[in-house]
Structure 1
Amino acid sequence: MDIDLSVTSVRDANAALRALPAGASARLASPAGRHNLAVGLTEAITVEIDGTAGYYAGGLGRDATVLVRGTAGWGAGENLMSGLVRVDGDASQSLGSCAHGGTVVVHGSASLRAGISLKGGTVLVAGDVGDHCGFMAQAGTILIGGDAGRGLGDSLYEAVIYVAGKIRDLGADARIEELAEADVELVARLAKQHGFDHIDPENVTRVASARQLYHWGTP
């Protein structure tokens, strides 16, 4: 099914997508940076956004696959429950924020606060990420194929961040830990699955919580 967004409203397009049965596929033509495309999907369908998406593409989804054939604005894959949101180009701020499950993949770079408040999902960025990636990430995995900006992993809880490039600096209560065999195997699987051929799984940096902020105490 093809939906031309130059003549169909986003509300009507999303309603048509949510009416599709599992296994169906659809293409959104002429997205022109419109916001809230392919949000709230609950079936195992595939949606191709043929161009640039605005804010919150693929957000609040479960089981669906959303492919953005361009760049994406703020909050791509926000609050994802399961399924896949993939961006072929770059992504703006708050990529995959609050994702409880599923996978959010960017084959370019991502701006500030990627993976903020992550709650169990997986966020993969082939290129660089901006400042405060993984801020207050509670659970899940973040894999960065390039460099990370300032405040990486600030106030981390149980999420783990892997960085193939350089780290500008760590946020509060984040620390670098030694790689275990399980880490190498996980990074290798994710890199192979999503075409991140430039990543050497044995030479990434593992960043996790120092667990000093779990409980407030008196000096």
Structure 2
Amino acid sequence: MDIDLSTTTVRTANATLRALPPGATARLTNPAGRHNLAVGLTEEITVEIDGTAGYYVGGLSKNATVLVHGTTGWGAGENLMSGLIRVDGDASQSLAASAHGGTIVVRGDASLRAGISLKGATVLVAGNVGDHCGFMAQAGTILVGGDAGRGLGDSLYEAVIYVAGRIKDLGADARVEELAESDVELVARLAKQHGFDHIDPENVTRVASARQLYHWGTP
């Protein structure tokens, strides 16, 4: 099924997608950067977006696969519960904000605050991430195939960040930890599964919480 967004409203397109049965496929054409595409999906369907999507693509969804053949605006995969979102280009700010589950893959770069307040999802960025990636990330995994900007992992809790490239600096309460065999195995599996052939699993940097901000201290 093709849905032409030059003649169909976003509200109507999303209602059509939500009515599809499990196993169905649909393609959104002429997205032209429209916001809130393919949000609130609940069934195991596949949605392809033929071009650039705006804010919050695929957000508030579960089970579905959303493939963006272009770039995305803010908050791609925001509050995702399960399923897969893949962006072939770059992603703007706040990628996967508060995502509880599922996998969000960006084949290009991601801007500021990727994985902010992450709550359990897996976030993979083939290229670089901007400042404050993983800010207040509570659970989940972030794998960065390129470099990371300033304040990486600021105030993170139980989430773990792996970076294949350089790290500009760490945020508050973030620290570099030694790789365990389980880390190498996880990174190898994720890299192979999503075609991140440029990543050497044995030469990534693991960043996790130093756990000094878990409780208020006393002067």
- TM-score when scaled to structure 2? 1.00
C-alpha deviation, 1:183, in angstroms? 0.1
Q: 1:126, 1:114 → 2: CA distance? A: 13
C-alpha deviation, 1:122, in angstroms? 0.5
Query: Corresponding residue for 1:186?
Result: 186
One-letter amino acid matched to 1:15:
A
Query: Corresponding residue for 1:6?
Result: 6
Give ranges in structure 2 of 5+ residues lacking alignment: none
Q: 1:156, 1:72 → 2: CA distance? A: 25
One-letter amino acid matched to 1:166:
R
Percent identity of paired positions between Structure 1 and Structure 2: 87
- Secondary structure in 1 matching 2:188: helix
Q: Give the number of aligned pairs.
A: 219
C-alpha deviation, 1:110, in angstroms? 0.3
Q: How does 1:65-214 map to 2 (within 5 A)?
A: 65-214=65-214
Query: Corresponding residue for 2:19?
Result: 19
One-letter amino acid matched to 1:200:
D
4+ aligned runs moved over 6 Å, structure 1: none
Q: 1:79, 1:2 → 2: CA distance? A: 26
One-letter amino acid matched to 1:88:
D
Q: 2:129, 2:63 → 1: CA distance? A: 26
Query: Corresponding residue for 2:59?
Result: 59
Q: 1:97, 1:197 → 2: CA distance? A: 26
Deviations 1:19-41 (A, max 9, x none): 00000000000000000000000
- TM-score when scaled to structure 1? 1.00
- Secondary structure in 2 matching 1:15: helix
C-alpha deviation, 1:217, in angstroms? 1.4
Give ranges in structure 1 of 5+ residues lacking alignment: none
Deviations 1:157-189 (A, max 9, x none): 000000000000000000000000000000000
Q: 1:217, 1:112 → 2: CA distance? A: 30
Aligned-residue CA RMSD (Å): 0.3
